[in-house]
Structure 1
Amino acid sequence: MLRLEKVNGKNVWDILKLRVAKEQENFVAHNDISIIEAYTAITGNGYAFPFGIYENDTPIGFLMIGFDTDDYWDDAPPVAIGNYNLWRLMIDRKYQNKGYGKEALGLALDFIKSLPCGKAEYCWLSYEPENDIARYLYRSFGFVETGEMDGEELIATLKL
């Protein structure tokens, strides 16, 4: 059974060691970049919730949730305003193909549905068009592609 643990001074170094498979490196930012982005979002009056994904005491992945925009996000898609965002989701290469991504996505949505930043209409996310694994996973939870893009990535939303 998986659990989420906020990234903190005790676990950050273990989270930074996690890596996706080589062929997936273009699909998700490294965890160090994500943690830096969380810090800059928070210091820019935004919201970011970085979590380690754990199987018992073993870190097996990372996910990050955001809400709304921050002071410096100039090109945010319209859906970002007032909504939650599944900003990152990665499972370490050693733990892939075991159902952990699906279980972690469920935990992320449970956290979002607790409305830690208040009510919202949507949870949104984005992914590379060629990332079929992500597309199928998100569709299985009810995410629907909107036809909009966040940079080079497709946007999909889930009504909360």
Structure 2
Amino acid sequence: MIQLKKVDWDNYEDVIKLHVAKEQEDFVADNDASLIHAFLAMSEGEPVFAFAIYNDDTPVGFIQMGYDDDWSGEERKDWLESDVFKKWDGKKYYFIWRFMIDKKYQGKGYGKEALRKAIEFLKTEPCGKAEYITLSYERTNEVARKLYFSFGFYEPTEFAPYYHDEDEISAILKL
């Protein structure tokens, strides 16, 4: 049975040992880098949820999520005058920052069940109300696209409030 367990002192090394296949390495950051990013974000007061994905007692993947309700900050200064900013200004949303299943455990339905549990968790509004869940995926990652769309995520007609470039697609799920 798939479970999400908070990354802690007891399991962080197991999470770091999980890896995607070589041809998938451009799709997601390594888990050690992801945990460092989570630590840095939390040190700046950002809410971050880092979970190991387990099948029974076996770690099979990792998912990291966050919450955003603050549109200020240096990283968004270019957006402040844009139509995109006007559309998303004041909206609160959760985001799936990292999501991976180890290469040894792919194709077994673990990713689908883990994503279902992650969405259920975010629907409990652990940081407060939100209108959306956002995420992004590499344009060439058709497996991820199909998975996300099967849960109702869609690509917005305008830029979504999440990292996006010519290689990466943003998708949102209305809560």
Q: Same fold (TM over 0.5)?
A: yes
TM-score tier, shorter chain, comes to over 0.9
Structure 1 stretches lacking a partner, 5+ long: none
The alignment partner of 2:113 has SS state of: helix
Tell me if 1:112 matches 2:127: no
Tell me if 1:34 matches 2:22: no
**Structure number having the greater strand percentage:** 1
Determine the structure 2 residue equivalent to 1:74. 75
Determine the structure 1 residue equivalent to 2:164. 151
Structure 2 stretches lacking a partner, 5+ long: none
Asked if the contact 2:156–2:171 (Cα under 8 Å) also holds between the matched residues in 1, the reply is: yes
Q: What CA deviation, in whole Å up to 9, does each residue of 1:45-84 have, x standing for no partner?
A: 1111000000111100000111006786714885595210
- Greater shift in the superposed pair: 81-90 or 127-136: 81-90
Give the TM-score, by structure 1 length: 0.93
Determine the structure 2 residue equivalent to 1:97. 107
Alignment of 1:2-13 (within 5 A): 2-13=2-13
Asked if the contact 1:46–1:69 (Cα under 8 Å) also holds between the matched residues in 2, the reply is: no
Shift of 1:151: 3.4
CA distance in 1, matches of 2:3, 2:114: 8
CA distance in 2, matches of 1:55, 1:136: 22
Quick one: structure 1 residues 109 and 94, their matched pair in 2 at CA, closer, same or farther if it must change by over 3 Å?
same
Quick one: structure 1 residues 118 and 69, their matched pair in 2 at CA, closer, same or farther if it must change by over 3 Å?
closer
Q: How many residue pairs are counted as aligned between the two chains?
A: 160
CA distance in 2, matches of 1:47, 1:68: 8
Identity %: 51
CA distance in 2, matches of 1:88, 1:135: 14
Tell me if 1:16 matches 2:16: yes
Determine the structure 2 residue equivalent to 1:121. 131
Asked if the contact 2:164–2:170 (Cα under 8 Å) also holds between the matched residues in 1, the reply is: no
Give the TM-score, by structure 2 length: 0.85
Asked if the contact 2:54–2:60 (Cα under 8 Å) also holds between the matched residues in 1, the reply is: yes
- Structure with max Cα Rg: 2
Aligned-CA RMSD value: 2.0
